[in-house]
Amino acid sequence: RPTRLRAGAGGVRIELELAEGPGVETLSPAGSAYIWTRKQACVPVRGEVEIDGARHALDGALGFVDDSAGYHDRRTAWSWSAGIGTAADGRPVGWNLVAGIHDDPAVSERTVWVDGEPRPVGPVAFASDLTAITTAGPPHPGRAESSWGSTPTNTPDDPEGGGGGAESRRAETPTPLTFHEWSRREHSTDAGLIASSYVQPFGEFSGTLPGGVDLAAGHGVMERHDVRW
C-alpha cells in the first residue's frame, strides 16, 4: 500500500504517493538508552506539484525517506547528506552519509544504493563548509562552530600519497563527493536550557560516491545540526 503525502502553502500544492520498502535500519546506544533510524533511497514516487497554477507531474521520480526516533544524548551533533542520482553507467543511485550519529566504523547507517541494492560504506568526513565529503579513511577530529558553542565533529582528511599503482592510490586517497548549493533552510536558537543550530542546504552533487561509484548527476541535501535538548 503506497504512502500518501499531501502538503500546501501559498501557491504551492503537493500530492505524492511513495512505494516504500523495508529500508536500512540502524539501532545505536545513547548512554543507557538507544536511538534508531530507518533510511530508504530510490523510492518510486508518483504524483503532482502545483506552483501558482502550473502543474508538474512527478511520475517516474525517485525519492528518499528518513525515519528517526529514540532517546538522544542531551548534546548531540551530526553532519549528514542524502540524495538521489544517476551513476556514470546509467544506474540509479542513492546515498545516506553521516558523521556524529549512528556512525560506528563497522555498524552504521552509512549506505549507498546502486540500482536499488543497499551497500554499506565506511567512515566519511564532511568539509566544514559542507561543500564536500571525503572517504577512504577514518575522519580526523575537528571542531565545528555553532551560534551558541562548539562541539567535536569531523573535518576532511588530508590526502596522502602512496605507491602501488592507480588502484591502490585511489583506495588510499579520499575520493571527493562535491556539493554545489542551490538554496538552504537554517535556524538557530538559544533558550538556555535548550539550544539548536541547524543548517540544511539543497543542491547538486558531483564526483564519486563512497565505494567508488562515479556520479553522472545527483541532487540532495547536506545538513549540520548541533543541538542541546
Query: For all residues of the chain together, what is the average pLDDT?
Result: 86
Geometric angle at alpha carbon 179, from 147 and 118, rounded to 5° = 105
Side-chain half-sphere CA neighbours of 121 within 13 A: 29
Query: If 0-12 CB within 10 Å is exposed, 13-18 middle and 19+ buried, where does residue 180 land?
Result: exposed
The DSSP 8-state label assigned to residue 158 in this structure reads P
CB 101 within 8 A of CB 124: no
Report whether pLDDT(162) > 50: no
Residues in the chain: 229
State the residue range of the domain holding 185: 3-228
Provide the 10 A C-beta neighbour count for residue 17: 16
Task: Using DSSP, state whether 52 is helix, strand or coil.
Answer: coil
Tell me the pLDDT tens digit for each residue of 105-146: 988 999 999 999 999 999 999 999 999 999 855 433 333 333
What grid cell was written down for 128?
Answer: 566544514
What is the total count of domains within the chain? Answer: 1
Which residues, 6 or more positions from 17, have their beta carbon under 8 angstroms from its beta carbon? Answer: 2, 3, 4, 5, 45, 46, 47
Report whether pLDDT(220) > 90: yes
Provide the 10 A C-beta neighbour count for residue 13: 15
CB 114 within 8 A of CB 202: no
Q: For residue 175, what pLDDT band results from cuts at 50, 70 and 90?
A: low
Report whether pLDDT(223) > 90: yes
Helix (H) or strand (E) holding 113: strand 111-114
Q: From CA 86, how far away is CA 146, in angstroms rounded?
A: 34
pTM flag (> 0.85): no
Side-chain half-sphere CA neighbours of 31 within 13 A: 8
- DSSP letters, 21-38, are ---EEEEEEETTEEEEEE
Q: From CA 134, how far away is CA 81, in angstroms rounded?
A: 12
Tell me the pLDDT tens digit for each residue of 82-116: 999 999 999 999 999 999 999 999 889 999 999 99
